[in-house]
Amino acid sequence: MKVLIPGALRSYTRQAEVEAAGDTLDAMFDDLDHRYPGLRFRVVDEQGHLRPNMRLFVNGLGVRDLAHALRQDDFVAVVLALSGG
């Protein structure tokens, strides 16, 4: 599947869009972390939950559950939520 990487994480991938594999979002991040070490930890915390400042969209639908099933033709966008004042 294609995965859109936010600018803040492109130091890991060196590109805006990468290919990944996995039956779930969790497995997809495992695959990405295997190829781009450290990327998963920036998105998923130590308890295996999506970090509060991260948003995931699968084919345009917002998803927070890392157990969400994926198909090989899905498009996943990883988005860094803006915060501050």
What pTM did the predictor assign?
Answer: 0.91
Over the stretch 18-71, which tens digit does the pLDDT of each residue have?
A: 999 999 999 999 999 999 999 999 999 999 999 999 999 999 999 999 999 999
pLDDT of res. 49? 95
Give Cα separations from 48 to 2, 16, 31, 42, 78 (angstroms): 22, 24, 15, 11, 16
Give Cα separations from 82 to 19, 70, 85 (angstroms): 25, 26, 10
> Domains, the chain, ranges and CATH?
2-80 (3.10.20.30)
pLDDT of res. 35? 97
